[in-house]
Amino acid sequence: MFSFTKEQKVFEISGISIGGQPGMYPTVLFGGLFFKGEPDFDDAKRHILTILELSKQTGTPVIPDFFIRKVEYIQPIISLIEKVLPKKHPFSIDVIEPSIKIETLERLDEEKLLSRMIYNSIHIGITKEETEALQKHTPEMALVVAFNPKDRSPDGKIEVLENSAHLIDTGLLELARKIGIEKILIDTAALSPGENSGAAIAALPVIKEEYGLPTGCAIHNVVEKSRWLNDFPFAKKTVDVASNNAIPLFGGDYAIFGPIENAEIVIPLIAWQDILISEYAENYFGVSPIASHPRRKLLK
């Protein structure tokens, strides 16, 4: 468990705070929707209502992360956000194809939803057109992915934040700020097994101490790519969910935990971990949890 000497920034988006010293704020969870197949909007609505209820019950903030694979999915997903999410609840948009990213930004701006949006994500593959679109349609918050193909260590992740490992002209942090994004979340880039995947966890306290910025990752991705776990399907589910515990334990602020279907297990699990961390942080470092922290809500 950690306490950082660097002042830790806390960013707020639509009532959810991310960052700070361990033990002060609960870990924020991102649950993914629409990663495979055709979008099932009825099923998505059910899962969104479930995470909202579990979040209210435990005090663990949960943000839906919508993956958009095709242009024709943009408007139906925006309609789902407007109809199902509370009007001030934040959401994340995850898009791979640059042209779809640009059109999504334009549509969200038209619907006046950018103030609730977390952009997933800025990385060294960013195009000039995407950069220009972000400057014109600037989201409230963005994930900056510290992936360095030349050096997968924690030091390599720092390098790509500082100077993009000289793969593009500007360091990723400077680029995000030039775009106009001040609320930056660092993603430590969880890679496949055999590619120093553990560095995504080791880098959490390193980056928190270096920059004081909210930091997390999608350690779930490492589980997904651990093919040997396919021989142990029952254990794989357990490992997938439990892997997220490492993030708050190493001082991280948020976890992108994978399919939203896992929320009913992940949310109480992370609430439990946050309670342990909060107890220790207050007793040893004098860090008190906020009123809505799981320790305050569940230990009465």
Mean pLDDT, consecutive 10-residue stretches, the chain (300 aa), reads 93 98 98 94 98 98 97 97 96 96 98 98 96 98 97 97 96 98 98 95 98 98 96 95 97 97 97 98 96 94
CB proximity list for 188: less than 8 A, separation 6 or greater: 146, 154, 157, 199, 200, 201, 203, 204, 207, 215, 216, 217
So what's the pLDDT on residue 277?
A: 98
Q: From residue 170, give the alpha-carbon distance in Å to each of 37, 122, 175, 247.
A: 36, 12, 6, 28
Helices marked H in the chain: 41-58, 74-84, 98-110, 128-136, 154-163, 172-179, 199-211, 220-224, 233-242, 246-249, 263-285, 294-298
Q: How far is CA 101 from CA 73, 133, 237, in A?
A: 12, 9, 31
230 Cβ contact partners less than 8 Å away, ≥ 6 residues apart? 236
Is the CB of residue 119 less than 8 Å from the CB of residue 151?
no
Predicted local confidence at residue 101, as pLDDT: 96
**Three-class DSSP category at 197:** coil
What is the C-alpha separation between 132 and 282, in angstroms, rounded?
A: 44
Q: What is the pLDDT of residue 5?
A: 97
What is the pLDDT, as a whole number, of residue 196?
Answer: 95
Do the beta carbons of residue 19 and residue 222 sit within 8 Å? no
Q: Which pLDDT does position 75 carry in this prediction?
A: 97
For the chain, the residue count is 300
Q: What are 3's two structure tokens? A: 């306490």
SS3 content of the chain, % helix, strand, coil (to 5): 50, 15, 35
Q: What is the pLDDT of residue 143?
A: 98
Topology classification of domain 10-298: TIM Barrel (3.20.20)
